[in-house]
Structure 1
Amino acid sequence: MTAKPNPAPTPAMPEPAAGRFATLTFARDVAAPLPVLWQAWTAPAARAVWAAPTPAVVVEFIEADTRVGGREVSLCKVDGAPDIRCECGWLELEPAVRAVNYEVVSIAGAAQSAALVTADFSGSDARSRLVVTVQLSALAKEPVRDMAAGYRQGFEAGLGNLAGVAARTMLLERVIRAPRAAVWNAWMNPLTLPQWWGPDGFSCRTQRIDLRAGGEWVFDMIAPDGTVFPNHHRYGEVRPQERIAYALLWGENGPKHADAWASFEDEDGATRVRLGMVFSTEAEFQTAKGFGAIELGLQTLGKLARFVGAP
């Protein structure tokens, strides 16, 4: 039998467009109230705590502006590997209901993927639920199935971290009937902050105070019975009249017990102040709740309101 000649090789065809896309869905139940979960998802200081999927990854936030039209830029750093740049742009923010953002991931200036991320929130005073839908587009040569596997691994780990952070986050709010500039100035003035900081009956004794990014406040809080509680605040981000982020340490250069932030928003001529704290462990969170940290924190915000002349 005569052998047939081999046919000419078929030219490689580009991967169909459908093969460049994938839709991923994640759901997580969280042992935290809905407003707390929302803040854990959106507040830059909280996102910085849970963003790294594993301890081997360091996430450095370069820019963070959580409002519609704002963007967040971060670098994921792993020893021995090039940095991964992630740009997130906020498209929709409906508090405690829905957040939508785009996300572009790049390495060495080359875009690897783009995604539309939709987060839907529901829940109650005790528990909440988050459902995240990721519409993923592969921009590099890597098959979307491989990229989707990486996204799935990263999001599952990140949402697990998020649930843990939300479960040890304390959130305090107060609407203060004063202009935002007045509230901000009372908080970020080294002469006035010590005058009102702390619960009713407490006073502050300052050693050093430098209220700027990279600055610190080393002070003692003195209880009505004379008990002294050493404190050290280290300031990270300071975004004038919008928010501050700082670490809380037990005494000067002592162990950190919380990452905190304060945000300031206009509300019908008044100012809504949110004070959030992510405690280092859930045990510390429970201990703080046990000795009345929520009530004492609300007293502190009440003293701020009285200091700026608000009823």
Structure 2
Amino acid sequence: MITLAPRAPSMLSDFEVTFPTEIDIVMFRTFKAPRALVWDLWTRAEHVRRWWGPHGFENEICEMDVRPGGRFRLGMVAPDGTPCPCEGTYIEVVAPERLVYEGMPHVHPCGSGLPPESRVTITFKEEGANTRLTLHAKMLSPERVQAAVDQGFAIGWADGFERLEALAMEQQNERNPKSGHRFSESIARQEDGRFEIVTSHRFAASPQELFALFADPAHLTQWWGPDGFTSSVPVFDFREGGEFRIVMHGPDGRDHDNHKRFVEIVENERIVFDHIQPTHEFRMSIEYVADGDHTDMIWRMDFAPSEHEELLKTFIPQANEQNFERLDAYLKSRKP
């Protein structure tokens, strides 16, 4: 029989734990945050180290390589100084829907949130403006399940979910001084194998201001690209049918030469161009939608079928959010 350590009923609100078989533990929690944000808080080390583990625990180390076959390592420390390391390997990464990882052999029965030699599947389901998260841990034996529960596995996750909820609320308040969410994303797959990734961000600026920061390469090079990248623009023929070439210089010293061609330009409203690369061709539409003294900038990326689809679905939303944050910082630097 599975037993749970005592816990105040109020602290179990909005948290459910079930034991469907002798080797499975399934937990649920609904977060008052969009799925894109909850996924982001699960897959970026700078966020995970702030919420992972029970109340009072700290993560001195947090290393994450979020891709199939990638490893992650957390150096969690209990309030009394006891080390509680957690190590695993990502098996499946489907942004922003599902994460699957396996725990490495470990002396601590609960595995600091990832029991040794277990497989954990986390699913993220949209429920209106909220996200329903399911954590399913499958272990080697009933004895492993009982040992994990005795060491506070379920209760530790209840605490971790509370910390995650608090961080999600904090992030939304920071990102959204106005109503609505500053960053959002969605992914849709079409019958012909094409797929679309849509990301958006709300800026305290007019469409005219944002359009101008793209239309002039002197501005564009100041903010284009994910964190750590710089850019140069050797060709920029800003007209319908004109060529657009931007070279992104990565933090590892490698250059990424991107060839594009403008398809449609509607001043202060819309910019459409084709990205012409053999490995990932797509058509990108940048839309500027005014809302009072703010503007929602929407990036629609319509991808041709690609063998790198899953990697692109994982990488693109995160890269776009970083790009938006760089644009926001550059926009603020230009204002008194």
| Higher CA-based Rg | 1
More strand by share: 1
TM-score, with structure 1 as normaliser: 0.49
TM-score, with structure 2 as normaliser: 0.45
